[in-house]
């Protein structure tokens, strides 16, 4: 870590260099503290530019210090010291000014940002509130509404938007240091703006605060930090500066020590670790410049969209002209939806579609770097596809299957150069869900495996390596979860109570509601397939419902009844009759024990998966459940939650 001071006439340039992201650890706080003293004492200096080396401006407090007692100088004191400095400081922002980084920038008298930079207060995503005046200075700088949005969502904003909100004073292009020094010189010719702490703030009326509270409570689903952040912002808008600072600091320190913050820190480091697998550090991945997808159904279209979002040109192969037409509609629907939700402009959506070539002729794949198969979940169909690919593709083209359950070793049998074969298991909708399970076979080369991880990075996904077993990591635990939930029903626990308990735990939906939405028939067909192959698969309660035509919302009922045009689940008398005799008359498990029993079952399956070497570490299992199956992030995943 270095903090160096240069001089350019009457302007000093303080450069922070603390790789990788200039996090504000104790020694950096001390060095900036000292720089303020040095420059205040230097009569030749009239203004100071604070700039960072490396990929970003200060990215926040050092998260690795959060488990330890705070050591002075404390960040709020440093921000005050910058604000009280005898010379005006100008924060020169590139990359991201986040959390404590943006708070330091608010201690400066001015903020100048490169056009590609962003600023934000992501603390709630770590289970805490800003702890160095983020909730107190931001409303004084940009108004209460902007502050509430920034702090309670934790979403950063790009420089142009930051300028329009008043969060930064200027957006520049080109050489940031030159521009920031020029800005400082010009600022010296005019009266200085008020320090942010001295600026007035106007609180909206109580009804507005109540509305915010309602909306955030709904969104947070049990996560406490966003509501506590709103509370800090309200105090900041209604109480004097010092009182609001004390309230923010107390909240910050309380939440920093909370289970939710520990869980979110666990996710933070697990996510970053996942993209850089240590066991592949020495392996160079292949460069992927073009890709193809076989099958344009639910998954194929989603995977194609994900690849297009990453800028790769795509070939999509379907069975025949009619199937090509259906695939085109599937893809159009994805991009139309993105336009409707404001994620893409019409022109961007068109460019995405223009980058896809469709057809049914495998000869088009002769020069493709990567092919992902997403055809029916049927071994014979998949093998036929790989037989074609083996003949058509380059010998070094990576060939991947998106199978959910079939043993990839069986799919790859007979494939020439099986070292380039791998499982890449995407989750539906594949262009949205962050998880990618990467499943090597015993013949997969390290280079192919490393390319899977590199592809995940290219697609902004979270990669998790999984060994071969029924359902890999995610679906195997899902199966256990559903089986345990059914076991509770058999013991007499009401279906609706189980779903409500899991929602109360933080899932968006309980296990039975989720099956009704996705359809009970998929898992049923898989069980039937196993039975037909001679495996001993005991009958499930779900089987009874599917045989009675209850496949979920799409058939008007599954575990629940649904009124036409209404997706809210209604407890079903028909289900009670169908399951009579299999369900105990007792009242089942007490409500407050349900979530614990089900999460413990998930973790038990996770431990079996670890013991068998299917997952490489417990945090990988947590990533799978959080990013693929809606496990509440602030609980840290089943392994962390039951540690
Ligand atoms: N503290 C400690 N380490 C951090 C860190 C932080 N705030 N932010 C990132 N790192 C580490 C990562 O763990 C990773 O380490 P590794 O190489 O050993 O795995 C390394 O820096 C690089 O991180 P990324 O892979 O995420 O780098 P990117 O270039 O993709 O992204 C970034 C850069 C956008 C700055 C991203 O790292 C990020 O979002 N960081 C977190 C920012 C944040 O949450 N700040 C708020 C902290 S809380 C706070 O400030 C409280 C205050 O109010 C008192
Ligand atoms: P789907 O039925 O929606 O789509 C399959 C597509 O493959 C159809 O469009 C069909 O025309 C096409 N197809 C069939 N044979 C083909 C061939 N020989 N050549 C070219 N195209 C062919 O199925 P879905 O849901 O997209 O599943 C595809 C694969 O992805 C399956 O292996 C499934 O297990 C897996 N998967 C599915 C998930 C889901 O949530 N639906 C999640 C993760 C994986």
DSSP H helical segments within 341-422, as ranges?
346-354, 379-392, 408-412
Q: Which SS3 state, helix, strand or coil, does residue 371 take?
A: strand
Mutating to test ligand 2, I would choose from 306, 363, 375, 629 the residue with most ligand atoms within 8 A of its C-beta, which is: 375
User: How high is the pLDDT of residue 67?
Assistant: 80
**What does the alpha-carbon distance between residue 262 and residue 281 come to, in Å, rounded to a whole number?**
28
1 pLDDT tier (thresholds 50, 70, 90):
confident
pLDDT digits (tens, 9 = 90+) for 518-532: 999 988 998 998 899
**What does the alpha-carbon distance between residue 448 and residue 398 come to, in Å, rounded to a whole number?**
7
Q: Which SS3 state, helix, strand or coil, does residue 378 take?
A: coil
Give the residue from 493, 513, 501, 527 showing the smallest Cα distance to 561: 513
Alpha carbon 107 to its chain's center:
30
Number of alpha helices (DSSP H) and beta strands (DSSP E) in the chain = 26, 19
606 pLDDT tier (thresholds 50, 70, 90):
very high
Residue 408 has pLDDT above 90, yes or no: yes
Residue 598 has pLDDT above 80, yes or no: yes
18 lines ligand 1 (CB under 6 A): no
> How many whole angstroms from 383 Cα to the centroid of ligand 2?
14
So which residues are the catalytic ones? Answer: 103, 123
Task: Determine contact, residues 332/354, Cβ cutoff 8 Å.
Answer: no
**What does the alpha-carbon distance between residue 271 and residue 143 come to, in Å, rounded to a whole number?**
33
123 lines ligand 1 (CB under 6 A): yes
542 lines ligand 1 (CB under 6 A): no
62 pLDDT tier (thresholds 50, 70, 90):
very high
Q: What is the mean pLDDT of residues 620-637?
A: 98
**What does the alpha-carbon distance between residue 130 and residue 241 come to, in Å, rounded to a whole number?**
15
Separation in Å, CA 34 to CA 3, 5, 30, 627: 10, 11, 6, 43
- DSSP secondary structure, 446-509, as one string: HHHHHHHHHHHHHTT-EEEEB-SSTTTTHHHHHHHHHHHHHHHHHTT--HHHHHHHHHHHT-SS
pLDDT digits (tens, 9 = 90+) for 474-512: 999 999 999 999 999 999 999 999 999 999 999 999 999
462 pLDDT tier (thresholds 50, 70, 90):
very high
pLDDT digits (tens, 9 = 90+) for 230-248: 999 999 999 999 999 999 9
| Residue of the CA atom closest to atom 3 of ligand 2 | 297
Question: Euclidean distance between the first and final Cα of the chain, in Å?
Answer: 35
| Residue of the CA atom closest to atom 40 of ligand 2 | 428
Q: What is the mean pLDDT of residues 176-187?
A: 98
77 lines ligand 1 (CB under 6 A): no
| Element of type H or E holding 137 | helix 134-142
Residue 57 has pLDDT above 90, yes or no: yes
> How many whole angstroms from 603 Cα to the centroid of ligand 2?
30
**What does the alpha-carbon distance between residue 19 and residue 429 come to, in Å, rounded to a whole number?**
36
- DSSP secondary structure, 294-326, as one string: E--SHHHHHHHHHHHHTT--EEEE-SSHHHHHH
Separation in Å, CA 130 to CA 253, 256, 260, 349: 10, 10, 15, 37
User: How high is the pLDDT of residue 70?
Assistant: 86
User: How high is the pLDDT of residue 628?
Assistant: 97
Tell me whether domains 2-257 and 278-465 share a fold: no
Atom of ligand 1 at shortest range from CA of 121:
46
Q: Which SS3 state, helix, strand or coil, does residue 401 take?
A: strand
Q: Which SS3 state, helix, strand or coil, does residue 223 take?
A: coil
User: How high is the pLDDT of residue 522?
Assistant: 86
Closest ligand to Cα 25? 1
> How many whole angstroms from 62 Cα to the centroid of ligand 1?
8
**Structural tokens at position 384:** 């036929």
15 pLDDT tier (thresholds 50, 70, 90):
very high
Q: What is the mean pLDDT of residues 302-331?
A: 97
**What does the alpha-carbon distance between residue 36 and residue 32 come to, in Å, rounded to a whole number?**
6
Give the residue from 517, 580, 518, 526 showing the smallest Cα distance to 548: 580
**What does the alpha-carbon distance between residue 90 and residue 12 come to, in Å, rounded to a whole number?**
10
22 lines ligand 1 (CB under 6 A): no
**What does the alpha-carbon distance between residue 467 and residue 451 come to, in Å, rounded to a whole number?**
17
- Tell the CATH topology of 278-465: Rossmann fold (3.40.50)
**What does the alpha-carbon distance between residue 589 and residue 601 come to, in Å, rounded to a whole number?**
15
Whole-model pTM? 0.94
> How many whole angstroms from 634 Cα to the centroid of ligand 2?
33
Q: Does domain 2-257 have CATH number 3.90.226.10?
A: yes
> How many whole angstroms from 269 Cα to the centroid of ligand 1?
9
Q: What is the mean pLDDT of residues 68-83?
A: 95
Task: Determine contact, residues 109/195, Cβ cutoff 8 Å.
Answer: yes
Atom of ligand 1 at shortest range from CA of 64:
2
Mutating to test ligand 2, I would choose from 293, 299, 434 the residue with most ligand atoms within 8 A of its C-beta, which is: 299
Mutating to test ligand 1, I would choose from 1, 20, 53 the residue with most ligand atoms within 8 A of its C-beta, which is: 20
> 474-613 maps to which CATH number?
1.10.1040.50
255 pLDDT tier (thresholds 50, 70, 90):
very high
pLDDT digits (tens, 9 = 90+) for 345-386: 999 999 999 999 999 999 999 999 999 999 999 999 999 999
**Which residues have any ligand 2 atom within 6 Å of their CB?**
294-300, 317-319, 323, 374-377, 381, 384-385, 402-404, 426-428
- DSSP secondary structure, 163-206, as one string: HHHTS-SEEE-S-HHHHHHHHHHHHTTSPPPPPGGGS---PPPH
User: How high is the pLDDT of residue 149?
Assistant: 98
pLDDT digits (tens, 9 = 90+) for 521-563: 988 998 998 899 899 999 999 999 999 999 999 999 999 999 9
Q: Give yes or no for a cis peptide into 628 (omega within 30° of 0).
A: no
Domain ranges of the chain: 2-257, 278-465, 474-613
Residue 45 has pLDDT above 80, yes or no: yes
Closest ligand to Cα 323? 2
Residue 24 has pLDDT above 80, yes or no: yes
Task: Determine contact, residues 105/57, Cβ cutoff 8 Å.
Answer: yes
> How many whole angstroms from 374 Cα to the centroid of ligand 2?
5
Atom of ligand 2 at shortest range from CA of 428:
40
Closest ligand to Cα 271? 1
**What does the alpha-carbon distance between residue 272 and residue 145 come to, in Å, rounded to a whole number?**
32
**What does the alpha-carbon distance between residue 471 and residue 629 come to, in Å, rounded to a whole number?**
13
Give the residue from 592, 509, 528, 579 showing the smallest Cα distance to 550: 579
Closest ligand to Cα 61? 1
| Residue of the CA atom closest to atom 10 of ligand 1 | 21
272 lines ligand 1 (CB under 6 A): yes
Arithmetic mean of pLDDT over the chain: 97
58 lines ligand 1 (CB under 6 A): no
């Amino acid at each position: 870590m270095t903090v160096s001071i240069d001089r350019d006439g009457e302007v000093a340039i303080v450069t922070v260099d603390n790789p990788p992201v200039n996090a504000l650890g104790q020694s950096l706080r001390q060095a900036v503290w000292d720089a303020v003293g040095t420059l205040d004492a230097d009569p030749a200096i009239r203004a100071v530019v604070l700039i960072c080396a490396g990929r970003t401006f200060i990215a926040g407090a050092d998260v690795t210090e959060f488990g330890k007692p705070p050591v002075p100088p404390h960040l709020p004191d440093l921000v005050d010291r910058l604000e009280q400095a005898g010379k005006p400081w100008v924060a020169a922002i590139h990359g991201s000014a986040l959390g404590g980084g943006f708070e330091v920038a608010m201690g400066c008298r001015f903020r100048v940002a490169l056009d590609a930079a962003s600023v934000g207060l992501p603390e709630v995503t770590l289970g805490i509130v800003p702890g160095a005046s983020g909730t107190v200075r931001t409303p004084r700088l940009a108004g209460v509404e902007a502050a509430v949005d920034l702090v309670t969502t934790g979403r950063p904003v790009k420089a142009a938007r930051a300028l329009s909100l008043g969060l930064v004073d200027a957006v520049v292009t080109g050489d940031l240091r030159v521009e920031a020094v020029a800005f400082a010189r010009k600022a010296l010719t005019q009266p200085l703006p008020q320090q942010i702490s001295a600026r007035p703030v106007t609180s909206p009326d109580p009804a507005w605060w109540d509305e915010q509270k309602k909306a955030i409570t709904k969104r947070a689903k049990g996560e406490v930090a966003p509501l506590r952040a709103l509370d800090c912002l309200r105090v900041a808008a209604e109480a004097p500066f010092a009182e609001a600072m004390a309230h923010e600091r107390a909240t910050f320190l309380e939440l920093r020590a909370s289970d939710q913050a520990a869980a979110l820190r666990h996710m933070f480091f697990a996510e970053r670790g996942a993209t850089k697998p240590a066991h592949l550090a020495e392996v160079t991945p292949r460069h992927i410049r073009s890709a193809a997808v076989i099958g344009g159904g639910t998954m194929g279209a989603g995977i194609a969209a994900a690849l297009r979002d990453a800028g790769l040109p795509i070939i999509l192969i379907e069975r025949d002209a009619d199937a090509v037409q259906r695939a085109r509609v599937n893809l159009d629907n994805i991009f139309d939806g993105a336009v409707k939700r404001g994620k893409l402009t019409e022109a961007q959506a068109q460019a995405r579609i223009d980058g896809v070539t469709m057809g049914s002729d495998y000869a088009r794949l002769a020069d493709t770097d990567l092919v992902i198969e997403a055809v029916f979940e049927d071994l014979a169909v998949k093998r036929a596809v790989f037989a074609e690919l083996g003949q058509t593709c380059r010998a070094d083209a990576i060939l991947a299957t998106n199978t959910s359950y079939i043993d990839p070793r069986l799919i790859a049998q007979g494939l020439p150069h099986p070292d380039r074969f791998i499982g890449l298991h995407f989750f539906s909708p594949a262009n949205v869900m962050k998880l990618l399970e990467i499943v090597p076979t015993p013949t997969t080369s390290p280079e192919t495996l490393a390319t899977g991880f590199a592809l995940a990075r290219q697609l902004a996904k979270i990669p998790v390596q999984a060994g071969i077993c029924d359902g890999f990591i995610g679906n195997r635990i899902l199966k256990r979860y559903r089986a345990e939930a059914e076991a509770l029903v058999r013991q007499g626990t009401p279906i609706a109570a189980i779903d409500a308990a899991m929602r109360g735990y933080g899932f968006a939906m309980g296990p039975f509601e989720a099956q009704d939405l996705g359809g009970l028939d998929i898992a049923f067909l898989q069980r039937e397939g196993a039975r037909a192959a001679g495996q001993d698969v005991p009958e499930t309660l779900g089987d009874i419902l599917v045989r009675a035509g209850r496949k979920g919302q799409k058939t008007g009922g599954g575990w629940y009844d649904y009124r036409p045009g209404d997706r809210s689940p209604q407890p079903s008398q028909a289900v009670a009759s169908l399951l009579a005799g299999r369900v105990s008359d007792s009242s089942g498990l007490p409500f407050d024990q349900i979530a614990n029993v089900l999460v413990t079952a998930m973790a038990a399956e996770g431990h079996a998966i670890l013991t068998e070497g299917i997952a490489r570490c417990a945090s990988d299992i947590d990533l799978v459940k959080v990013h693929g199956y809606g496990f509440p992030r602030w609980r840290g995943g089943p392994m962390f939650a039951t540690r």
